[in-house]
Structure 1
Amino acid sequence: MKLYYFETINGKKACAVAKYVDAPVEFVRVDLSRGEHKAPDYLAINPNGKIPALEDGDIRIWESNAIMCHLARRAKSDLWPVDPAKQIEVMKWLSWNSEHFTRHAGTLYFNHVVKPKFGLGAADEKAVAEAIGFVTPFVAVLDRELEGRTFLLGDHLTVADFAVSVTLPYADKIGLPIKGYNNIARWHAQLGQIPAWQDPFPAAKAAAA
């Protein structure tokens, strides 16, 4: 298997799961700053020109959430539950995250981390203000749902935890309004103790975004 990545939040999710389950992957760094994601050879793997991507034999998988699920299922890891009802719970959180939480937290990340790193200009203050307004009620939802739970699915760590938490390390830098939400703070600190989440990338070849 080959896992194509760069040091961004979506790359982190895929690499962290690969490390966590000790997947037999070859890590291939795609340097976004040099436009390698737009090269014909890479577009043949992922026509969207995004990272991460995974090649597993004849299978090519584009999206970070799908890559996480595939790697966990292939490794028979509890990160992808065996119980079909829990699988639906994982999918609920992945969908909620994509449509609501990281959808808007990602806008903050893009404006405050990606733009400066790649010289894309100043933050769009209107977009930032809108994103904070949109994400704030979902921060409250997340905190309530974590009440009395170790992880999103109770005592069971899953790929959903990695997906939903991926912007939290940047909360102060990007203005993600999580201060005062104790359940989120506890959950985030707990995830930070997982070695694969602390250090997901195969080598520190570039400053992480």
Structure 2
Amino acid sequence: MKLYYAETLAPRKACAVAGYLGLPIDYVFVDLRKGEQTRPDYLAINPNGKVPSLVDGEKSLWEADAIICHLAQRAESELWPRSVQQQIDVLRWLSWNSQHLYRHAGSLYFEYLIKPWVGLGEPDPSKVAEAQGFFRKHASVLDQYLKGRKWLLGHDLSVADFSVAVTLPYAKSAAMPLDEFPEVQRWHDQLNAFEAWRNPFPRRETHAVAHA
């Protein structure tokens, strides 16, 4: 298997799950600043020109959430649950995250980390305020839900946890008001116990985006 990645948000979840599962994977760094994601050979793998992408034999997959589900299933791991009802619950959280928490936390990540990285200037205060407001709204939903639950599916760690939490390692550096949500913090602290979560990216000589 080959996992094409950059040191940015969506690939982080794919690299974290791959590392947690200990799968034999060749990691291929895609330099976004050099436009490697737009090269014809890469577009043949992922026509969207995005990262991550996974090549597993004859199969190519793009979209990080699909990739982490595939990796968990490939490893026959409980990260992809056996029960159909739990699988539906995973899909619920993946969908919720993409439309809500990830969307607005990702805006803060863009304003504070990506803009200076690519030379687009300082964070826009109005966009920051808007994104923080939505972050609070959706983190509040997550905070209430996590009361009495260890993980999103209850007692069982799943790919949903890796996906929904992926912006939180950048909370401090991207001005996400995470400290207002103790249950979310407690849940994320559990993920921080895993080396694959804390340090998901393969070692390289230079780093593309500063880590939290």
Q: Quick check: TM above 0.5?
A: yes
What SS is found at the alignment partner of 1:48? coil
2-side partners of 1:81 and 1:205: how far apart? 37
Match of 1:38 in 2: 38
What SS is found at the alignment partner of 2:7? coil
What SS is found at the alignment partner of 2:27? strand
Match of 2:165 in 1: 165
- Give the conservation status (yes or no) of the 8 Å contact 1:139–1:177: no
Equivalences for 1:5-44 in 2 at 5 Å?
Answer: 5-44=5-44
Equivalences for 1:169-188 in 2 at 5 Å?
Answer: 169-188=169-188
Runs of at least 5 residues in structure 1 that lack an aligned partner in the other structure: none
- CA-CA distance at 1:14 after TM superposition: 0.4
- CA-CA distance at 1:176 after TM superposition: 1.2
Amino acid corresponding to residue 203 of structure 2 in structure 1: A
- Give the conservation status (yes or no) of the 8 Å contact 1:21–1:72: yes
Amino acid corresponding to residue 111 of structure 1 in structure 2: E
Give the root-mean-square deviation of aligned CA atoms.
1.2
Match of 1:120 in 2: 120
- CA-CA distance at 1:125 after TM superposition: 2.5
Q: Deviations over 1:29-69 (max 9, x none)?
A: 00112111111111111111110001112211110000000
Match of 2:86 in 1: 86
2-side partners of 1:76 and 1:120: how far apart? 43
- Give the conservation status (yes or no) of the 8 Å contact 1:73–1:80: yes
Amino acid corresponding to residue 172 of structure 1 in structure 2: K
Amino acid corresponding to residue 5 of structure 2 in structure 1: Y
Identity of matched residues, %? 54
- Give the conservation status (yes or no) of the 8 Å contact 1:115–1:123: yes
2-side partners of 1:206 and 1:90: how far apart? 35
1-side partners of 2:114 and 2:169: how far apart? 14
Does residue 1:65 correspond to 2:65, yes or no? Answer: yes
What SS is found at the alignment partner of 2:100? helix
Amino acid corresponding to residue 58 of structure 2 in structure 1: D
What SS is found at the alignment partner of 2:123? coil
Match of 2:52 in 1: 52
The count of aligned residue pairs is 209
What SS is found at the alignment partner of 1:7? coil
Q: Deviations over 1:126-159 (max 9, x none)?
A: 2222211222111111101110111111111111
Does residue 1:104 correspond to 2:104, yes or no? Answer: yes
Q: Which moved more, 1:82-91 or 1:198-207?
A: 198-207
2-side partners of 1:181 and 1:132: how far apart? 13
TM score, norm. by length of structure 1: 0.96
1-side partners of 2:62 and 2:157: how far apart? 23
Amino acid corresponding to residue 9 of structure 1 in structure 2: L
1-side partners of 2:158 and 2:152: how far apart? 8
1-side partners of 2:188 and 2:157: how far apart? 12
- CA-CA distance at 1:184 after TM superposition: 1.0
Match of 1:130 in 2: 130
- CA-CA distance at 1:104 after TM superposition: 0.7
2-side partners of 1:47 and 1:104: how far apart? 25
Q: Deviations over 1:172-198 (max 9, x none)?
A: 221212223211111111100011111
**Off by >6 Å, runs of 4+ in structure 1:** none
1-side partners of 2:38 and 2:119: how far apart? 18
